[in-house]
Amino acid sequence: MFPLFQKWHKKFGVFSALIVIFLASSGIALNHSEQLNLNSIYIQADWLLDLYQIKPANDPISFESSDAWAVQIGERLYFNEQEIAKDITELKGLIEINDFYVVAYDGQLSLLTPDAELIEHLSGAAGVPAGMQAIGFDDQANVIIRAAHGYYKVNLDELEWEEFDYLDATWSESTSVPDSLKSKLLKKYRGTGLTTERVLLDFHSGRIVGAWGVYFVDLIAVLFLILAFTGVWMWWARK
């Protein structure tokens, strides 16, 4: 019986050694996550992105103006192929004024160059009306906002807002994003949705495959305990 214990103890020991090496290595890496920039290195493997279901819940929302595009995918906002904002709720429109672009979303306006460089960012503190529903422009290159409680006009050079009961404007309207741009943006969205740190944490805990993975890690822990006890027992018996 004693040789049988030795035989199985060696087999389980080799298997558990591989697990220990991985757990120890991933644990060390996670302890130094900030120094290794694990939270800013993104996973690109399609099978892992599919496993985590990294994809937007809804179809993109997009607006076009003078061959430029503002596109919302999930909670991220893109101007052409450049990401310009995160954690947004709803894109409201895009207009071109005096050779720069104005992107409207979540009660905010971002003024951008054609190369997606930020010129200025305006929020409620700068007078952007609450409850913004749509953005447009008039014949004098004023920005027109339709909000929950009326219409507002602003000249961005002077940044003085005027309120009206009604204003006519050329309104920015949502349109379908071209397939080529949509494909590029979806790839960008997926490519920055899963960090190495998160994957290592889930592998370390077993959660990478859900509840069964946690139970598997628990089983490995029990196996370690069995190996420890049987190892001590065999050493004591020999002594």
User: Which of 140, 99, 145 lies closest to 124, judged by CA?
Assistant: 145
Quickly state the pLDDT bin for 232 (edges 50, 70, 90).
low
Domain match, 121 and 226 both: no
Domain match, 85 and 144 both: yes
Work out the percent of the chain whose per-residue pLDDT is above 90: 44
Domain match, 175 and 233 both: no
Q: Mean pLDDT across the stretch 37-50?
A: 81
Spatial separation of the C-alpha atoms in residues 78 and 80, rounded to whole Å:
6
Domain match, 114 and 179 both: yes
Confirm whether 99 is domain-assigned. yes
Domain match, 235 and 128 both: no
Domain match, 72 and 129 both: yes
Average pLDDT value over all residues in the chain: 84
Give residue 61's identity as a one-letter amino acid code.
I
Q: Which residues contact 45 (CB under 8 A, 6 or more apart)?
A: none
Report, in this order, helix, strand and coil percent for the chain, each rounded to 5. Answer: 40, 30, 30
Domain match, 74 and 154 both: yes
Strand-pair partners of 42 = 195
Quickly state the pLDDT bin for 172 (edges 50, 70, 90).
very high
Q: For residue 205, what is the DSSP state?
A: H
pLDDT over 90 (residue 82): yes
Domain match, 68 and 136 both: yes
pLDDT over 70 (residue 5): no
Of the two residues 219 and 165, the one the predictor is more confident about is 165
Work out the percent of the chain whose per-residue pLDDT is above 70: 77
Spatial separation of the C-alpha atoms in residues 140 and 33, rounded to whole Å:
53
Domain match, 221 and 152 both: no
pLDDT over 60 (residue 4): no
Into how many domains does the chain fold?
2
Domain match, 174 and 81 both: yes
Domain match, 84 and 183 both: yes
The three-state secondary structure class of 89 is coil
Between 16-25, 69-78, 79-88, 102-111, the lowest mean confidence (pLDDT) is in: 16-25
Residue keyed to tokens 């103890």: 9
Give residue 11's identity as a one-letter amino acid code.
K
Confirm whether 28 is domain-assigned. no
Confirm whether 12 is domain-assigned. no
pLDDT at 191: 79
Residues 192/182, Cβ–Cβ less than 8 Å: no
Spatial separation of the C-alpha atoms in residues 102 and 111, rounded to whole Å:
5
Domain match, 178 and 216 both: no
Residues 155/142, Cβ–Cβ less than 8 Å: yes
Spatial separation of the C-alpha atoms in residues 190 and 188, rounded to whole Å:
6
Q: Mean pLDDT across the stretch 210-230?
A: 67
Quickly state the pLDDT bin for 79 (edges 50, 70, 90).
very high
Q: Mean pLDDT across the stretch 64-69?
A: 95
Quickly state the pLDDT bin for 227 (edges 50, 70, 90).
low
pTM of the predicted model over 0.75 = no
pLDDT at 107: 92
pLDDT at 14: 62
Cβ neighbours of 91 (radius 10 Å): 23
pLDDT over 70 (residue 28): yes
Residues 132/122, Cβ–Cβ less than 8 Å: no
**Structure-block tokens of residue 105:** 């979303």
Q: What is the CATH number of the domain that holds 181?
A: 2.130.10.10
Confirm whether 32 is domain-assigned. no
pLDDT over 70 (residue 2): no
pLDDT over 60 (residue 235): yes
pLDDT at 171: 97
Residue 165 sits in which domain range?
A: 61-191
User: Which of 104, 156, 157 lies closest to 130, judged by CA?
Assistant: 104
**Structure-block tokens of residue 145:** 């906002």
